């Protein structure tokens, strides 16, 4: 979502004459768009500010801004630790950037905007200038679920859905600008609801847009996976057969302590229903190792759930205590124990990902090519299951969804080769 927000900040600033640069040294303004979800993400902000400080000393006219969830959670603390910062703005206020830039030029101290404004930023953002072939589109923000470990309800605010008409208009504009895949974003994207239904309905409406080849959504919560959305996986070919569905733990005791509102078996049954709806569906998930109270038996239950489901991809993290959350106040698991559990989880998940990738070898797969590959003469893209794919091929493939043959499944990517041009040979 920060990638989407950063692109929108560029759109807001473009009329003022700002354009992106590759290096902070070349910039008139530097914006750090930050994440507060885990401690090391947060701490990175302060080390990055330390690294950038000499630039400001050399050119006092440069503007430094900190945006995103660290700004939201630690506004005054940022200014105290890094007094050269000119603007601190939460994730709901960046549509006011032009005004903040003007105020920063006049103000003696930092401009801090971290309240949740009454107006929606989405109503005040201009159209996106140059959408990517796989473009993000935020449709839902915030969270009311208050999991024990998580800062999102505090930093992103209450759950809110953008209206269907606004989402469809932005999607049409992205596709007109060249996007061929839209990734719908939300902290709880499947909690999205419009006047006439939920995410399943929105997906069906989006699938009507000509030239929109693929639809994805992330991140979804198991509790919000309703019947209509499951049916959309069966009915809508453009909805990719891949779903990121975080489970966090395989132990009912830990899931209850986390306030997740479902059991491990609920998750298993949900996955069965999704796979029944779409036979080739592959899953990805998030796992937390070492939440307070997690015993060895709970950890084993997580490993068992991972084995039962078989994930194509996953993200796993060591539990990180976050200020102001209930789990941070509980008795903590020793760091070395968290490390050991995380290593076991990651070993298993890595093996599952490699097995999934290897199983693709020899298969025909539709790839959406999104740009040049790392080596000259190569193109790169994604399979429907989000695997990075690279192939020797012409740049004219970029922006197309093309069926290719997977030559090899590597641990983190697939190598492909073009299909033989059989029809052309027949004509010749
Ligand atoms: N709304 C989504 C998750 C959004 S946060 C859901 O409920 O599933 C993204 C991921 O960060 C979470 O799934 C979780 O695995 C991880 N995460 C969040 N807070 C964390 C913390 N305090 N420590 C470690 N991982 C955390
Ligand atoms: Fe955080 Fe997701 Fe739980 Fe909301 S549902 S509190 S975003 S982990």
When computed from its CA atoms, the radius of gyration of the chain, rounded to whole angstroms, is 23
Of 110 and 303, the one with more pLDDT = 303
Nearest atom within ligand 2 for CA of residue 260? 3
Ligand 2 centre to CA of 327 (Å) is 13
56-96 pLDDT, tens digit per residue, is 999 989 999 999 999 999 888 999 999 999 999 999 999 99
Ligand 2 centre to CA of 147 (Å) is 5
> Quick one: three-class SS letters along the chain?
CHHHHHHHHHHHHHHHCCCCCCCHHHCCEEEEEECCCCHHHHHHHHHHHHHHHHHHHHCCCCEEEEEEHHHHHHHHHHHHHCCCCCEEECCCCHHHHHHHHHHHHHCCCCEEECCCCCCCHHHHCCCCCCCCCEEEEECEECCCCCCCCCCHHHHCCCCEECCHHHHHHHHHHHHHCCCCEEEEECCCHHHCEECCEEHHHHHHHHHCCCCCCEEEEECCCHHHCCHHHHHHHHHCCCECCEEECCCECCCHHHHHHCCCCCCHHHHHHHHHHHHHHCCCCEEEEEEEECCCCCCHHHHHHHHHHHHHHCCCEEEEEECCCCCCCHHHHCCCCCHHHHHHHHHHHHHHHHHHHHHHHHHCCCCEEEEEEEEECCCCCEEEEECCCCCEEEEECCHHHCCCEEEEEEEEECCCCEEEEECCCHHHHHHC
% of the chain at pLDDT higher than 70: 98
Mutate to test the pocket of ligand 1, among 39, 288, 292, 329 (most ligand atoms within 8 A of CB): 288
For 119, counting Cβ atoms within 10 Å of its Cβ (0-12 exposed, 13-18 middle, 19+ buried), the class is: exposed
Q: Is 161 in the pocket of ligand 1 (CB under 6 A)?
A: no
Q: Is 38 in the pocket of ligand 1 (CB under 6 A)?
A: yes
Q: Is 144 in the pocket of ligand 2 (CB under 6 A)?
A: no
In this structure, what token pair is assigned to residue 94?
């960046």
- Can you tell me the mean pLDDT for 172-179? 96
pLDDT band at residue 152 using 50, 70 and 90 as cut-offs: very high
pLDDT band at residue 120 using 50, 70 and 90 as cut-offs: confident
> Is the bond preceding 219 in cis, omega lying within 30 degrees of 0?
yes
Mean pLDDT (the chain) is 94
Assess contact for 182 and 336: CB atoms under 8 A: no
Cα 52 from Cα 373, distance rounded (Å) = 31
Of 400 and 121, the one with more pLDDT = 400
Ligand nearest to the CA of 291: 1
Ligand 2 centre to CA of 254 (Å) is 15
7-53 pLDDT, tens digit per residue, is 999 999 999 999 999 999 999 999 999 999 999 887 899 999 999 99
Q: Is 188 in the pocket of ligand 2 (CB under 6 A)?
A: yes
Ligand nearest to the CA of 143: 2
Q: Is 197 in the pocket of ligand 2 (CB under 6 A)?
A: no
Assess contact for 288 and 259: CB atoms under 8 A: no
Say how many CA atoms lie within 13 Å of 12 toward its Cβ: 20
372-419 pLDDT, tens digit per residue, is 999 999 999 999 999 999 999 999 999 999 999 999 999 999 999 999
Cα 365 from Cα 389, distance rounded (Å) = 10
Whether 428 has a pLDDT exceeding 50, the answer reads no
Q: Is 233 in the pocket of ligand 1 (CB under 6 A)?
A: no
Q: Is 150 in the pocket of ligand 2 (CB under 6 A)?
A: yes
Cα 203 from Cα 199, distance rounded (Å) = 6
Nearest atom within ligand 2 for CA of residue 144? 4
Assess contact for 70 and 58: CB atoms under 8 A: no
Mutate to test the pocket of ligand 2, among 73, 187, 220 (most ligand atoms within 8 A of CB): 187
Q: What CA–CA distances, in Å, run from 47 to 3, 42, 300?
A: 20, 9, 37
Bridge partners (DSSP) listed for residue 113: 89
Enumerate domains of the chain plus CATH numbers: 2-113 (3.40.50.12160), 121-358 (3.80.30.20), 364-418 (2.40.50.140)
pLDDT of residue 422: 55
pLDDT band at residue 423 using 50, 70 and 90 as cut-offs: low
323-362 pLDDT, tens digit per residue, is 999 999 999 999 999 999 999 999 999 999 999 999 999 9
Ligand 2 centre to CA of 22 (Å) is 33
Q: Is 148 in the pocket of ligand 2 (CB under 6 A)?
A: no
Mutate to test the pocket of ligand 2, among 146, 218, 245 (most ligand atoms within 8 A of CB): 146
Ligand 1, atom 21, lies closest to the CA of 320
Mutate to test the pocket of ligand 1, among 245, 259, 286 (most ligand atoms within 8 A of CB): 286
- Phi first, then psi: give them for residue 109, nearest 5 degrees: -105, -165
Ligand 1 centre to CA of 257 (Å) is 14
Q: Is 145 in the pocket of ligand 2 (CB under 6 A)?
A: yes
Ligand 2, atom 1, lies closest to the CA of 150
pLDDT band at residue 139 using 50, 70 and 90 as cut-offs: very high
Q: Is 288 in the pocket of ligand 1 (CB under 6 A)?
A: yes
Whether 427 has a pLDDT exceeding 90, the answer reads no
Q: What CA–CA distances, in Å, run from 43 to 40, 253, 288, 324?
A: 5, 31, 19, 17
Nearest atom within ligand 1 for CA of residue 318? 24
């Amino acid at each position: 979502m920060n990638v989407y927000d950063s692109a929108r900040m560029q759109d807001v600033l473009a009329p003022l004459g700002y354009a992106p640069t590759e290096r902070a040294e070349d910039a008139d303004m530097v914006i750090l768009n930050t994440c507060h979800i885990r401690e090391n993400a947060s701490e990175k902000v302060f080390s990055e500010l330390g690294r950038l400080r000499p630039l400001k000393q050399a050119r006092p006219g440069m503007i430094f801004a900190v945006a995103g969830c660290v700004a939201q959670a630690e506004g005054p603390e940022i200014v105290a630790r890094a007094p050269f910062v000119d603007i601190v703005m939460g994730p709901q206020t960046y549509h006011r950037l032009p005004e903040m830039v003007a105020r920063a030029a006049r103000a003696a101290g930092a401009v801090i905007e971290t309240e949740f404004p009454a107006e929606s930023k989405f109503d005040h953002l201009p159209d996106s200038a140059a959408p990517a072939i796989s473009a993000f589109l935020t449709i839902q923000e915030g969270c009311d679920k208050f999991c024990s470990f998580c800062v999102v309800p505090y930093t992103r605010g209450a759950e809110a859905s953008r209206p269907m008409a606004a989402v469809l208009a932005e999607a049409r504009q992205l596709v007109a600008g060249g996007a061929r895949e839209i990734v719908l974003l939300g902290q709880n994207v499947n909690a999205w609801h419009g006047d006439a239904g939920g995410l399943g309905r929105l997906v069906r409406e989006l699938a009507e847009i000509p030239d929109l080849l693929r639809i994805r959504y992330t991140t979804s919560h198991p509790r919000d996976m309703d019947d209509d959305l499951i049916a959309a996986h069966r009915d809508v070919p453009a909805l990719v057969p891949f779903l990121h569905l975080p489970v966090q733990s395989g132990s009912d005791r830990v899931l209850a302590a986390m306030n997740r509102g479902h059991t491990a078996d609920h998750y298993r049954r949900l996955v069965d229903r999704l796979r029944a709806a779409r036979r080739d569906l592959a899953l990805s998930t998030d796992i937390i190792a070492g939440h307070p109270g997690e015993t060895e038996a709970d950890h084993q239950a997580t490993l068992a759930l991972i084995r039962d489901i078989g994930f194509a991809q996953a993200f796993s993290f060591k539990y990180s205590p976050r200020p102001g959350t209930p789990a941070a106040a509980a008795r903590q698991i020793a760091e070395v124990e968290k490390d050991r559990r995380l290593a076991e989880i990651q070993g298993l998940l890595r093996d599952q990902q490699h097995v999934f990738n290897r199983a693709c070898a020899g298969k025909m797969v539709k790839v959406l090519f999104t740009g040049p590959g790392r080596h000259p003469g190569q193109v790169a893209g994604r399979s429907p299951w989000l695997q990075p794919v690279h192939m020797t091929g012409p740049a004219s493939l970029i922006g197309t969804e093309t069926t290719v043959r997977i030559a090899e499944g590597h641990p983190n990517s697939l190598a492909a080769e073009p299909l033989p041009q059989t029809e052309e040979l027949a004509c010749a």
